[in-house]
Amino acid sequence: MLIRHADAERDAAGCLAIYGPFADSTPISFEERAPTEGEFRQRIERIERTHAYLVAEEQGEIAGFAYAGPHRDRPAYRWAAEVSVYLGERYRGQGLARKLYEALFPLLEQQGYRILLAGVTTTNPTSIRLHEALGFEEVGVYRRIGWKAGS
């Protein structure tokens, strides 16, 4: 398994294939529809300008991806980054999310980020366990804030 920086042109379709079902069919993403491939390509390009965006590749297939972005817009938040990780269905449960994060976090530290945050839906216990295992602590719960697919 190769973990490398994402290339927007080469990797957008593979990342979207993983992310699209989360956007279209689950409350894990608060997007109500998957972005287009062009929109996804632009996201990767935008994120790579200020943060890191990594993909895991297995024999030419994107197995998963992890990235960071700004937490909030105010200047005092500039040292905080929000992280996310997504895996293709057949690559889940093999420790890949942890490997992606363990590659991502040192890059963010080198970029000067001092604290990492993650927004995880309470309906995603696997992600909650991953983040807790990596040292994340719950700091609060937004209740009744996102309504999607009846949840």
- pLDDT tens, position by position, 50-78: 999 999 999 999 999 999 999 999 999 99
Question: Would you kindly state where each structural domain of the chain is located, as residue ranges?
Answer: 2-133
Return d(Cα 19, Cα 50) in angstroms, integer.
21
**Percent of the chain as helix, strand, coil, to the nearest 5:** 40, 20, 40
On whether the CB atoms of residues 54 and 63 are closer than 8 A, the answer is no
The tens place of each residue's pLDDT in the chain, 151 residues long, gives 999 999 999 999 999 999 999 998 888 888 889 999 999 999 999 999 999 999 999 999 999 999 999 999 999 999 999 999 999 999 999 999 999 999 999 999 999 999 999 999 888 899 999 999 999 999 988 888 877 766 5
* Range 2-133: architecture per CATH: 3-Layer(aba) Sandwich (3.40)
Q: What is the pTM of this model?
A: 0.93
